[in-house]
Amino acid sequence: MKKKVVCLLSALLLAVSVAFPAAAAFNRDVLDSVVVVYVEIYNDDELYGYATGTGFFVGESGKDPQYLVTNYHVLEYYVATGGGDGTSLLRVFFSQDDIEEAYVVEYSEEKDLAVLRLSKPTEKRRPLTLEAPTSEMVGSTVYAVGYPSLADSDQVANPNTRFGTEDATVTTGSFSRLLVQSGTGREIIQSDTAVHGGNSGGPLVNDAGHVIGINTFGIESNGTEIETINYALSVNEVIPLLDRNSIAYDLATASNLPLPLPVLLAIGAAVVIAAAVVVILAVRGRRTAPAPAPAAAGPAPAPDPVPASMPAPMPAMRQAYVRSSSPQHGGQRFPIGSQPFLIGRDPSSCSLVYRGGTPGVSSRHCSVSYNADTGEFLLTDLRSTYGTFLENGQRLEPGVPFRLQPGSVFYLGERDNSVRVELG
């Protein structure tokens, strides 16, 4: 009978596992489809700066791709300095030592989208399948793939950067809503997936590894709690550009979405109750075993000794912040982590944003990150026009990280633009 009960319990566990299937995971094949899009910007034959973003390949499954998609703002300065007729360079990095020139097929400044091509198809990456987002996807898991750290530093700051698939990052969040953006008419996807400068142009994919959006911009607001809101352009916005240029791509039908949680819970509960009833009936069918003989009278066993002291709890991790002293930010502080946090005037890539025309502040001025292992902040000037300075007036060398202790103050161009790093 014991063997029968064990078998029934095994069946119960199997039934529960069927009722509650394992959560889907990120499709790692997506990493084989993304690249760094790198722009060297020259003005009057002098290097003015650089811009980086992410691109992903499109094409027919099983064939070497030649075309890729990214955001227009990634190559905005390339276009502004003459594009292919100018001296600026537009390149794709497969790795640090494997670089190819890219060419603009078509772009839409209004949609903030661009389609690029290589001189010939490549076997170094695979095309991604597109899938039109739908409102039924709300609440499902999505993944942002790209190169956020490469947007804020170069080889001097990141000597271990290889520009390959091993440097691509994946962040996870929820599909919050599908909407049409006021003023532009663009179809966009709102999610809480973390994206930063450098993610621009990278794919937002679902559990199937299909591209449903192109990561483009985000908003951070500071109230009683920090809420991160990010947006991706729907693939429905890029499909007309592909069609207009006769570029082949694979378009999937809507992926099979998991059953809603209440339905799963109801099914699981029904299975558990039914299996439990079977087990109870089986146990009742056993012969009644004789009761054990009472134990001889004697002193009750002593209770287990109570430990003299409990181990001290582990200290909680402290949150790192940057706090702006500028009146335009009203004393706000912004949480940061190990990924570079951009500061400047460009709202599409910076998280601490100064108003346009703020004296001393460049579009992408500097970045700050926090190393929890050492307890130090890393401040890097992003080759700003006006310079990044320590509180004592020392100007930082562009592109070279400088270590700061909690409580340190630095400023962008002018002392009115002071920023303090702190731990909460």
Residue 179: its H or E element: strand 169-180
**Across 257-354, where does the E strand assignment appear?**
320-324, 333-336, 341-344, 352-353
- Size of the chain, expressed as the number of residues it contains: 424
Between 390 and 16, name the one with better pLDDT: 390
User: Coil, strand or helix: which one is 64?
Assistant: coil
- Written as six digits, the tokens of 4 are 């029968």
Q: How far apart (Å, rounded) are the C-alpha atoms in residues 120 and 125?
A: 13
User: Looking at residue 19, what is its pLDDT?
Assistant: 46
Q: What is the dihedral of CA 283, 285, 287, 291, to 10 degrees?
A: 40
Comparing 40-49, 152-161, 233-242, the range with the smallest average pLDDT is: 152-161
By C-alpha distance, which of 267, 254, 270 is closest to 135?
A: 254
What DSSP letter does each residue of 110-165 carry, written as one string? TTTEEEEE-SS--SSS-PBPEE---GGGTT-EEEEEE-TGGGS--TTT-TT---SG
By C-alpha distance, which of 111, 92, 112 is closest to 103?
A: 92
By C-alpha distance, which of 254, 298, 259, 233 is closest to 72?
A: 233
By C-alpha distance, which of 288, 25, 318, 297 is closest to 143?
A: 25
Rg (CA), the chain: 28
Comparing 145-159, 209-223, 295-309, the range with the smallest average pLDDT is: 295-309
Average model confidence (pLDDT) across the chain: 80
* Number of neighbours of residue 214 by Cβ within 10 angstroms: 30
User: Coil, strand or helix: which one is 195?
Assistant: coil
Q: pTM to 2 decimals?
A: 0.57
Comparing 12-16, 110-114, 326-330, the range with the smallest average pLDDT is: 12-16
Q: Which residues contact 313 (CB under 8 A, 6 or more apart)?
A: none
Rounded average pLDDT over 164-188: 89
Between 275 and 368, name the one with better pLDDT: 368
Is the distance from CB of 214 to CB of 233 less than 8 angstroms?
A: yes
Q: Would the pLDDT of 362 be above 80?
A: yes
Residue located via tokens 């108003």:
355
Q: What is the pLDDT of residues 258-269, one digit of tens each?
A: 444 454 555 555
Q: Would the pLDDT of 307 be above 50?
A: no
By C-alpha distance, which of 219, 233, 136 is closest to 187?
A: 233
Among 91-95, 153-157, 264-268, 355-359, which range has the highest average pLDDT?
Answer: 91-95
Q: How far apart (Å, rounded) are the C-alpha atoms in residues 35 and 54?
A: 6
Comparing 183-197, 220-234, 330-344, 396-410, the range with the smallest average pLDDT is: 220-234
By C-alpha distance, which of 148, 230, 240 is closest to 189?
A: 230
By the 10 Å C-beta count (0-12 exposed, 13-18 middle, 19+ buried), 116 is classed as buried
Comparing 63-77, 111-125, 240-254, 279-293, the range with the smallest average pLDDT is: 279-293
Q: What is the pLDDT of residues 56-95, one digit of tens each?
A: 999 999 999 999 999 999 998 888 888 888 888 999 999 8
Q: How far apart (Å, rounded) are the C-alpha atoms in residues 151 and 364?
A: 10
Q: What CA–CA distances, in Å, run from 377 to 302, 318, 321, 401?
A: 55, 13, 10, 9
String of b and e for 162-187 (b: at least 16 CB within 10 Å)?
ebbbebbbebebebbebeeeeeeebb
Q: Which residues contact 260 (CB under 8 A, 6 or more apart)?
A: none
Confidence label for 412 from pLDDT (cuts 50, 70 and 90): very high
Comparing 1-10, 154-163, 264-273, 307-316, the range with the smallest average pLDDT is: 307-316
User: Looking at residue 188, what is its pLDDT?
Assistant: 94
Q: How far apart (Å, rounded) are the C-alpha atoms in residues 34 and 3?
A: 54
Domains and CATH numbers, the chain: 28-252 (2.40.10.120), 320-423 (2.60.200.20)
Confidence label for 96 from pLDDT (cuts 50, 70 and 90): confident
User: Looking at residue 270, what is its pLDDT?
Assistant: 60
Q: How far apart (Å, rounded) are the C-alpha atoms in residues 353 and 364?
A: 9
> How far from the centroid of its chain's Cα atoms is residue 18's Cα?
31
Between 11 and 217, name the one with better pLDDT: 217
Comparing 195-204, 247-256, 400-409, the range with the smallest average pLDDT is: 247-256
Between 122 and 82, name the one with better pLDDT: 122
